[in-house]
Structure 1
Amino acid sequence: MDKDAELAEAVKAAAQGHDGEVSVAVHDETSGSGASYASGDGTYDTASIVKVDVLAALLLRAQDEGRALTAQERAYAAAMIENSDNDATTALWDELGRAAGLDAANERLGLDGTSGGDGPLWGLTQTTAPDQLALLKQVFGVGDGLALSKESRAYVQGLMGNVASDQAWGVSAAGDGGAALKNGWLRRSTTSLWVINSVGRVTVDGRSYLVAVVSHGSATRAAGVDLVEAVAKAAVPVVSGGA
């Protein structure tokens, strides 16, 4: 059985008894093994996980301009990632040129299934689990060929490793040590159902894994968190030590 098929079985088992749809992509940074599984059409609202993408786009722009982030940009970035501050996100979203700026950056970051939300609605950016994994590879990757500089990558990693303690759920459930992550949660007014997402890097037995889990359709926020955590815990062992 190939890794994608094995992951599909593991996710379906983990999701039993949960409402909603979920997709996941995972990558073992040591072996290079990876797998992905998509439920439904595979496209999901980002909610606040888009904030990592916004920061990556901001850093790309600063790199192009040959400058560091300003003090104000750094203040917004820290609030946006560590505390999931929406006002800070809106300020940076507007600075980027909203969806047009994000989409242009994503072409360079390798996110070909993500499109920015309309107008000020950054949380309704559409994405896929594989695209979120591609973004994580840009943030946590090493070596040449990455759009983000070494300094930019270290900056994002530092913020994701310092999220507020009450926001450290999600993919962290799959690890046995510290995690660097960003979560998103949004109750859709059109359905009253929840979008719950989590992306980041976790460590298990000294090995690092990149994990992206996106979901929608949960009746409550707690139910969505439970779903995402169950899927993350099921996904990592599939690629653990894989060739």
Structure 2
Amino acid sequence: MSLRPSPAARARTGLLLASVGALLAAGTAHPAPASATVPTGGTSTHATAAVLDLDGTGRTAEVHGDDSAYDTASIVKVDILAAVLLQAQDAGRQLTADERGHAEPMIKRSDNASADALWQQIGQASGLAAANKRLGLTSTTGGPGSKWGLTRTTASDQIRLLRAVFDGGTAAGTGAIALNADSRAYIGTLMSQVVPEQTWGVPVAGASGSPRALKNGWLRRTTSGLWDVNSVGQVTVKGHRYLVAVLSNGSSSMSDGVALVERTARQAVA
């Protein structure tokens, strides 16, 4: 049984479909996760959420559902940018104009050609793995070859990545600061400037009008025709900053996937 998409959801879907074709070229024929997570209205639809209250007392994310791996689709673009910035830091330099020319559209409007260029620059999956070791991620595997969209990750690993950006730079599990203050500010600024038609997902869990930073990902699998829809970011609720990651797969349409992610985000933060 699928959710009936609202008019707003249908409108968002139309605006996003132009990006889907390019992402399909990055590769979407990938098997479903080995273990299913939280059935949500259908035998093939699953979602997992992870939440961390940055202004609370703990530093362990609360996971809702089975924390198994999902395809990232475009949420991996935050990870790609973090890897680019770490390489620049190691070289003792700022990003070049060309790198900024790719980084900004990659995050703000999810430009896939820019992601292709930076994925090659960091060394594809091996470069991502090197960066993730420093960022404290433990369950993320880069996609094969040029297919960055088929990187696999867990909701808890996405919280680790968000912590490296929004939690004073301390990488979860390492206690070390990987991204410096300028790099963290750059990622956070771009995530707060995502184009309006792509601001669905985790922001619905935050207070109306409160600051938010996010990156979404969506792809339609060529083998099944089903959708993977993901959303990660930071929202504010009652004065507390929350890191939220919602990963899903198996939706019959883009609008169903967005509705699932938003419902899951609300429930997880509540």
TM-score by length of 1: 0.89
- Match of residue 100, structure 1, among 111, 116, 126: 126
Looking at structure 1, the residues matched to 108 and 189 of structure 2 have their Cα atoms a distance apart, in angstroms, of 10
The residue number in structure 1 matching 2:183 is 152
**Is 2:52 the partner of 1:21?**
no
2-side partners of 1:111 and 1:38: how far apart? 19
Tell me the SS of whatever aligns to 1:197.
Answer: strand
How many angstroms apart in 2 are the aligned matches of 1:143 and 1:105? 14
| AA partner of residue 194 (structure 2) | V
Residue of structure 2 in register with 1:60 after alignment? 86
Report the aligned-residue RMSD: 1.5
Structure 2 CA distance for aligned equivalents of residues 119 and 62 of structure 1: 23
Say whether 1:35 aligns with 2:62.
yes
Equivalent position to 1:80, from 97, 102, 106:
106
| Aligned amino acid, residue 44 of structure 1 | Y
SS in 1 for 2:232: strand
Partner of 1:128: 154
Give me the whole-angstrom Cα distance separating, in 2, the residues matched to 1:122 and 1:71. 23
Gaps of 5+ in 2: 1-36, 171-175
Q: CA deviation at 1:143?
A: 6.1
How many Å apart are 1:81 and its aligned residue? Answer: 0.1
Shift of the alpha carbon at 1:178?
2.6
Aligned residues of 2:228 and 2:257 also touching (Cα < 8 A): yes
Q: CA 1:99–1:219 in 2, change beyond 3 Å: closer, same or farther?
A: same
Match of 1:139 in 2: 165
Q: Does 1:233 align with 2:266?
A: yes
The separation in 1 between residues aligned to 2:40 and 2:142, in whole angstroms, is 32
Contact 2:136/2:161 (8 A) holds in 1: yes
Aligned length: 224
Does 1 or 2 have the higher relative contact order (CA < 8 Å, sep 6+)? 1
- For the Cα contact (< 8 Å) 2:218–2:227, is it kept in 1? yes
**AA in 1 matched with 2:46:** E
1:191, CA displacement in angstroms?
Answer: 1.0
Aligned residue for 2:22? Answer: none
User: 1:113 aligns to what?
Assistant: 139
Residue 96 to residue 204, structure 1, CA distance change in 2 (3 Å): same
Q: Mind listing any 5+ residue stretches in structure 1 that lack a counterpart?
A: 1-10, 238-243
- Residue type of the partner of 1:91? A
2:150 & 2:169 partners in 1: Cα distance? 32
> Which residue is 1:7 aligned to?
none
Structure 2 residue identity aligned to 1:21: H
Deviation at 1:199, TM superposition (A): 0.2
Deviations 1:64-115 (A, max 9, x none): 0000000010110001000100000000000011111001111111111001
- Give the Å deviation of 1:16: 4.3
Q: Which amino acid aligns with 1:30?
A: D
Identity of matched residues, %: 53
- Contact 2:159 2:243 (C-alpha < 8 Å) held by counterparts: yes
Among 168, 177, 185, the alignment partner of 2:218 is: 185
SS in 2 for 1:138: helix
Letter of the aligned partner of 1:48 in structure 2? S
Q: Which amino acid aligns with 1:37?
A: H
Find 1:165's aligned residue among 182, 190, 196.
196
Instruction: Single out whichever of 58-67 and 24-33 deviates more from structure 2.
Output: 24-33
The whole-number CA distance in structure 1 between the counterparts of 2:57 and 2:70 is: 26
